Amino acid sequence: MKKLGILSAAIVGLMMSAPIAFADDITFSVVGPMTGQLATIGDQFKQGAQAAADAINAAGGVDGRQIKLDVQDDQCDPKQAVSVANRIVANGVKFIDGHACSGSSIPASAVYAEAGALMMSPASSNPVLTDAAAKAGWPTIMRLYTRDDAQGAFIGPWIAKKYAGKNVVIMHDKSAYGQGVADAVKATMNQNGLNEILYEGINAGEKDYAALVTKLKDLKADVVYFGGYHPEAGLILRQSAEQNLKYQLIMPDSIATPEFWQVAGPAGEGTMFVFPSDPQAKPEAKEAIEKIKAGGFVPEGFTLFSYAVIQTFAEGIKRAGSDDPAKVAEALKNGEPISTVVGQVTFDEKGDLKNASYDINQWHDGKYAPIQP
């Protein structure tokens, strides 16, 4: 009977300890366009976040807690983004690696702020995201990526200087991201003495841009800056080539994906785009890149930024000694650099990255690489 009592006590002890082990896991949501036209971006988010979680877990986790990922699909649609955000906070998740498109991140941020969750986008660049959060007094809305106004300040003056006297067209896809970055480029280009001959929005998702191509041909466009995504950019280029129209296309960061070339084909040759200084070239990223590639995925585009968000969450929790999102955000904004695969990062009081730097990349024969501006 005594042995039975000891055995029963041991079983009860095991039963009591098992749930504690599961409760000690910490969940981070990863949100982006996992399906739809921009699914490659969602895949980059997912691959980067999973690789980071695997590496951190293998090293002992976050103060001994294992990271679990909750992947959610918003299709870069604002309404779906709000619905997903509500579901995430209802499930008690406090940390969000996402969203991707500014048009999704901005409305979703209000849901996270109200719930006190920490959202950090690895891709959204519209200044409104953090500007509005700062104005509203929301400390838990951040981004581990650059801002459109900073990108505009980089490329706008360069376009004005390099293409002085040329016919420059500025277009956008009417999205928060596309129009935001186009407006930023237009402003700084104009300030530096070059005015566009056309500023126009297009309708994303269309398949026939023949009328637009004809207009560009009539205007004798030398340069087109397009704030938008790779499906439309590739189609416009391909249909321009069909009308024997050639111009220099310049884009923001959205075409850092092999799918751009799949859509554009040879018509994409020479296309330029701005992207934060190549994260794949960072020595801090070498081991992560090797492991991701070993799994059959090339860590292009936003992959390493998503990876860095997970690293930043983990470091913030350690610094704060807590998983309280407000305390973690405060710890991340204390000015002390955070080591990530995209290098040492620091945040300002708004939750934006400090000291962002850029490359001008160019597509050649299905691949892209930085060029000397």
Distance CA 245, CA 241 (A): 5
Rounded average pLDDT over 331-337: 96
- Portion of the chain with pLDDT greater than 90, in percent: 91
Which of 30, 34, 104 has the alpha carbon at shortest distance from 306? 30
Handedness of CA 116, 122, 123, 126 (dihedral sign): positive
pLDDT digits (tens, 9 = 90+) for 218-277: 999 999 999 999 999 999 999 999 999 999 999 999 999 999 999 999 999 999 999 999
- Which pair of tokens denotes residue 285? 């990223």
* Rg value, the chain, Cα: 23
pTM over 0.85? The answer is: yes
Q: What mean pLDDT is reported for the chain?
A: 93
The pLDDT of residue 284 is above 60: yes
Please count the residues of the chain.
373
Strand partners, 71: 30
User: What pLDDT digit, counting tens, does each position of 103-146 carry?
Assistant: 999 999 999 999 999 999 999 999 999 999 999 999 999 999 99
Nearest residue to 226 (alpha-carbon basis) of 209, 201, 263: 201
Instruction: Identify the pLDDT of residue 326.
Output: 98
Is residue 24 over pLDDT 60? Answer: yes
pLDDT of the residue at 22:
40
- Comparing CA positions, the residue from 298, 257, 305 lying closest to residue 99 is 305
> How confident is residue 278, by pLDDT bands cut at 50, 70 and 90?
confident
What DSSP letter does each residue of 289-341 carry, written as one string?
A: HHHHHHTT----TTHHHHHHHHHHHHHHHHHHTS--HHHHHHHHTSS--EEET
The candidate with the shortest Cα–Cα distance to 307, out of 123, 59, 65, is 123
Span 357-371, average pLDDT: 95
User: In angstroms, rounded to a whole number, what is the distance separating the alpha carbons of residues 298 and 233?
Assistant: 22
Tell me the CA end-to-end span of the chain in Å, nearest whole number: 83
pLDDT of 288 strictly over 60: yes
